[in-house]
A and B are shown apart, each in its own frame.
Chain A
C-alpha cells in the first residue's frame, strides 16, 4: 500500500492549506476572496479524508465517500453564497466587507 510518499507530507500540506484558509478568511476584505478561503479550508479537509482513508484504513471507502459529499455540499454553498454576494453588490454597489456594516453593536 505504501506509495513512497510518507503520510506526514500530505497531512502537513492539508494543515497548511486549512490555516491559510483561516488566515485568508480573517484578513481579506473582499467577500469573494473570503468565500475562496472557505473553499480552501474545505479542500484541505478533503485531502485529510482521502489520506486517512488511503494510508490508515485502506480496506474501506468511508473517507472517499465523505470527501465526495463535501465537494457536492461545497458547490451548493458556493452557489448560494455567490448569489448573496451579487445581491450585496446590487444593494451596496460594492463587495467590500467594510461596506456591509449597517448593523453593529
Chain B
C-alpha cells in the first residue's frame, strides 16, 4: 500500500478535511462573523460534490476492509448531491437568532454522519459496516435534538439514540453469531462459508433486524414518526432521505454479496416485510395532519417499495433500487423543502394551514404538487419511472402478487398525496398563508429538486449507466 492508494478514499478524505476546516473556522471567527460559517461550509461542500464526480479508481484498501467500485462511487455521489440540497435548504433556518451560536455544530454533525455513511457503503467487512453505521447514527441523535429547548426536539433525540443503540446491539449479536459460525468478519470470506444451517439463519435474522431499524421497515418503524416530527424540518429531511438511502444501499450490497447463498431465506422474509411496510405506512399516513408526520409515514411506505427491487435479486433490481433512491432524494427533498420554507416563515406545519396556498404562493404550491406527484408515481415525472422499474424488477422474477399489492398501495398513496394537493388548490381558507418571498438558497435548492424530478426520468443515460455498474446474485 502506498500513498496513492489513499486516493481511493477520496470522498471520505475530502469530507474529513472539510469537517476540520469548518471546525477551525468556527474556533477562529468571533461572534459577529460566525454567520460566515454557513457560506464557507456550503461552498466547501459544493466543491466536494464536484470533486466526487471526477473519474474514479476502483480497488480495495486495508486488506479488503474498504472496497470501492463504480457502484459505491455512484452511490456516494448521489448522497453528496442530496446533502448539498439539504444544506442549501437549511441556510435560512441557521441564520435565525436561536441558532446563531451553534451554526457550525450543524455542519460538523451532518458531515460526520455523511462520512459514516460513506464508509458504511464502502465497507468490505462487518467491522467497517458497524463503525460506519454508528458514526452515521450517534451524531444523528444530536442533530435530532438540535433545537434543544423545544420539548419535541429533545424527545426526538432521546428516542432516536435509545432505539438506535438497541437496534445496533441486536445487529451486533447477529454479527457475533456470523463470526462464530464462519470465523471471519470479512464479506468475501463470510460469503463463501454461509449456508442454510439454523444458527446462521438466526444470525442473519438478527443482522437483518438491526438493519431494518435504520431503514424503518415495518415491525421496526415505531421510532420513525416521532423522531421525524420532533426533529427540526431540515434535519428530518436529511434523516428521511440521505440516512434512509444510505442504509438501503448497504442493505442491498450486503444481501447480494454476503447472504446470496441463503437468498431462499431472505426472499420470503422480504416479501412479508415489504407488504407490511407498504400497507401500514400508507394506512397510517392517511390519518396524519402534521405535514412532517405525514411525510414520515409516506417515507416508510416508500421503503416498502424499495424492498420490491431487492427481492428480485437481479441486476435489474439493484439498478432500480439505486435509481429509485436517486429520484426519491429529489422528490422528497422538494416536498420537505416547501414544508421547511413555509414553517420557518409562518411556523405552520399542519395540512389545514395549507388551504388556499395556491392563491397566495402559486410557485411553492406547484413545486409541492410536482414533488408529491413524483412520490406517488404519476407518469410525466421521474417518480413514475422509479416505481415502474421497481415493479419491473419484481415482476421479472415472478413476484406478480407482490407487484399487484404494490400497485394497490401506490393507489392508496395517491389518495393521501392528493389530499395535500386538494388542500392547496381547491380548499378555501379564511386566513391563507400570506404571500412571502422565498430566500435565494432555498430557491436554488428547490430548483435543483424540480430539475431532478423532471429530467432524471427523461435522461435514459442515467438508467443505462446505473445498469452497467449493477450486479445481481
Question: At the interface, yes or no: A100 with Cβ under 8 Å from chain B?
Answer: yes
Q: How far is the CA of A48 from the CA of B156 in the complex (A)?
A: 32
Are B165 and A48 in contact, with the CB atoms below 8 A?
A: no
Question: At the interface, yes or no: B220 with Cβ under 8 Å from chain A?
Answer: no
Neighbour of A87 across the interface among B148, B185, B230, CB < 8 A:
B148
Q: A35, A52, A53, A73: which has the most chain B beta carbons within 10 Å?
A: A73
Between A and B, 20 residue pairs with Cβ closer than 8 Å are A31-B162, A38-B169, A45-B173, A49-B176, A53-B179, A60-B183, A62-B185, A66-B126, A73-B130, A77-B138, A80-B142, A81-B161, A81-B162, A84-B145, A84-B157, A87-B157, A88-B155, A88-B158, A91-B148, A103-B229
Neighbour of A57 across the interface among B138, B154, B183, CB < 8 A:
B183
**Residue interface bits A65-78, CB-to-B below 8 A is 1, else 0:** 11001100100110
B435 → chain A closest CB, angstroms: 31
Are A105 and B169 in contact, with the CB atoms below 8 A?
A: no
A79 → chain B closest CB, angstroms: 9
Q: Chain A residues near B126 (CB, 8 Å)?
A: 66
Q: How far is the CA of A103 from the CA of B290 in the complex (A)?
A: 11
9 shortest A-B CB distances, which residue pairs? A48-B176, A41-B169, A52-B180, A45-B172, A38-B165, A103-B226, A91-B154, A84-B157, A57-B183
Q: Chain A residues near B127 (CB, 8 Å)?
A: 62, 65-66, 69
Question: At the interface, yes or no: A85 with Cβ under 8 Å from chain B?
Answer: yes
Q: Chain B residues near A80 (CB, 8 Å)?
A: 138-139, 141-142, 161
Neighbour of A62 across the interface among B131, B151, B173, B179, CB < 8 A:
B179
A101 → chain B closest CB, angstroms: 8
Closest to A42 in B: B169
Closest to A78 in B: B165
Question: At the interface, yes or no: B265 with Cβ under 8 Å from chain A?
Answer: no
Neighbour of A77 across the interface among B131, B165, B284, CB < 8 A:
B165
Question: At the interface, yes or no: B225 with Cβ under 8 Å from chain A?
Answer: yes
Q: Chain A residues near B170 (CB, 8 Å)?
A: 41
**Residue interface bits B141-169, CB-to-A below 8 A is 1, else 0:** 11001001101101111110110011001
Question: At the interface, yes or no: A102 with Cβ under 8 Å from chain B?
Answer: yes
Question: Would you list which residues of chain A between 15 and 40 have a CB under 8 Å from chain B?
Answer: 18, 21, 25, 31, 34-35, 38
Q: How far is the CA of A91 from the CA of B157 in the complex (A)?
A: 12
Q: How far is the CA of A60 from the CA of B182 in the complex (A)?
A: 13
Q: Chain B residues near A42 (CB, 8 Å)?
A: 169, 172
Q: Chain B residues near A104 (CB, 8 Å)?
A: 226
Q: How far is the CA of A66 from the CA of B152 in the complex (A)?
A: 36
Q: How far is the CA of A55 from the CA of B419 in the complex (A)?
A: 61
Are B172 and A70 in contact, with the CB atoms below 8 A?
A: yes
Q: How far is the CA of A22 from the CA of B183 in the complex (A)?
A: 26
Question: At the interface, yes or no: A56 with Cβ under 8 Å from chain B?
Answer: yes
Chain A contributes a number of interface residues (CB within 8 A of B) equal to 41
Query: With A45-B169, A87-B154 known to touch, is A63 a contact of B179 (CB < 8 Å)?
Result: yes
A86 → chain B closest CB, angstroms: 10
Q: How far is the CA of A70 from the CA of B145 in the complex (A)?
A: 24
Q: Chain A residues near B180 (CB, 8 Å)?
A: 48, 52, 56
Q: Chain B residues near A63 (CB, 8 Å)?
A: 179
Chain B contributes a number of interface residues (CB within 8 A of A) equal to 41
Q: How far is the CA of A70 from the CA of B127 in the complex (A)?
A: 9
Closest to A38 in B: B165
Q: How far is the CA of A102 from the CA of B150 in the complex (A)?
A: 11
Q: How far is the CA of A42 from the CA of B169 in the complex (A)?
A: 6
Q: How far is the CA of A45 from the CA of B177 in the complex (A)?
A: 9
Q: Chain A residues near B161 (CB, 8 Å)?
A: 77, 80-81, 84
Query: With A21-B169, A91-B149 known to touch, is A76 a contact of B155 (CB < 8 Å)?
Result: no
Q: Chain A residues near B179 (CB, 8 Å)?
A: 49, 52-53, 62-63, 66
Q: B155, B156, B225, B230: which has the most chain A beta carbons within 10 Å?
A: B155
Q: How far is the CA of A83 from the CA of B432 in the complex (A)?
A: 41
Beyond known contacts A52-B180, A70-B130: 10 more, CB 8 A cutoff: A18-B173, A31-B162, A38-B165, A41-B170, A45-B169, A45-B172, A62-B184, A83-B142, A100-B159, A102-B155
B228 → chain A closest CB, angstroms: 10
Are B162 and A102 in contact, with the CB atoms below 8 A?
A: no
Q: How far is the CA of A45 from the CA of B179 in the complex (A)?
A: 11
Are A100 and B225 in contact, with the CB atoms below 8 A?
A: no
Are A102 and B169 in contact, with the CB atoms below 8 A?
A: no
Are B176 and A102 in contact, with the CB atoms below 8 A?
A: no
Query: With A21-B169, A102-B151 known to touch, is A84 a contact of B134 (CB < 8 Å)?
Result: no
Are A73 and B158 in contact, with the CB atoms below 8 A?
A: no
Closest to A60 in B: B183
Are B173 and A76 in contact, with the CB atoms below 8 A?
A: no
Q: How far is the CA of A49 from the CA of B179 in the complex (A)?
A: 8
B239 → chain A closest CB, angstroms: 15
Q: How far is the CA of A97 from the CA of B177 in the complex (A)?
A: 32
B130 → chain A closest CB, angstroms: 7
Question: Would you list which residues of chain B between 270 and 285 have a CB under 8 Å from chain A?
Answer: 284
Are A92 and B151 in contact, with the CB atoms below 8 A?
A: yes
A22 → chain B closest CB, angstroms: 8
Are B158 and A84 in contact, with the CB atoms below 8 A?
A: yes
Are B151 and A81 in contact, with the CB atoms below 8 A?
A: no
